[in-house]
Amino acid sequence: MGGDKTNRKLETDLAEMLEPAFPGLSVTVELSERWQRPCATFVWSGFAGLLPEERFHRLVQAIPASFRTKRMGSVVWVELSPGETVDSFLKLPRSEDVAPKEATIYAGLCKAKFFDALRASMGRSPRESCSGGFVATDAVLAEKKYSAARATEAKLLFIRHGVYCDCQVLETVQPALAKLYAGAA
């Protein structure tokens, strides 16, 4: 499990590794009574407004797989925005929450012509105009008058299919969902 010295070393190494990509990030690693194992808590202002799986995905992209495997195998990760509590974070929606309504969410997106509008908003080369997040997706959903809850469900649907950015929505999720729900939308 590692002691305080091991946890401090991991904390320092993570902070140094992540600072360039996450300026102002705070990292603490300590034994969690809740999980009975080490917990790495990452607090960053850039996590505000992001879903838990988006936060985790961004961190995973910045931490080499070998480091995660060797040093973080038994560590619980918690990604918070400043002022957010672990309890409130744990209550945030996850992609598994939308599994029972996946077909309905997809049908609604098709009815609203979301995918056409997203493609139009991103221009000829979605990869080149992609923000690396759901910036264009959020804008199009707002334009389509999606409530915050419905927009969250749409993004959770995309995350459920392994997608975390606008260009992947068009390149990966749209064709996969179209095939999966052919005739349903």
23-58 tens-digit pLDDT:
999 999 999 999 999 999 999 999 999 999 999 999
Q: Are 25 and 42 in contact (CB under 8 A)?
A: yes
Residue 72 is classified by DSSP as S
Q: What is the pLDDT of residue 101?
A: 96
Note the pLDDT tens digit of each residue in 158-184.
999 999 999 999 999 999 999 998 865
User: Which of the four pLDDT bands, split at 50, 70 and 90, describes residue 124?
Assistant: confident
Q: Could you state, in order of their start, the residue ranges of all structural domains in the chain? A: 4-90, 95-180
Per DSSP, the three-state class of 74 is coil
The span from the CA of 84 to the CA of 104, in Å, is: 31
The span from the CA of 45 to the CA of 142, in Å, is: 23
Task: With a cut of 60, say whether residue 185 has pLDDT above it.
Answer: no
The span from the CA of 156 to the CA of 153, in Å, is: 5
Task: With a cut of 60, say whether residue 2 has pLDDT above it.
Answer: no
What pTM value is reported for the model? 0.90
Tokens of 157: 């649907």
Q: Are 115 and 167 in contact (CB under 8 A)?
A: no
Instruction: Specify whether domain 4-90 bears CATH 1.10.10.10.
Output: no
Q: Where are the beta strands (DSSP E) in the chain?
A: 26-32, 37-43, 76-80
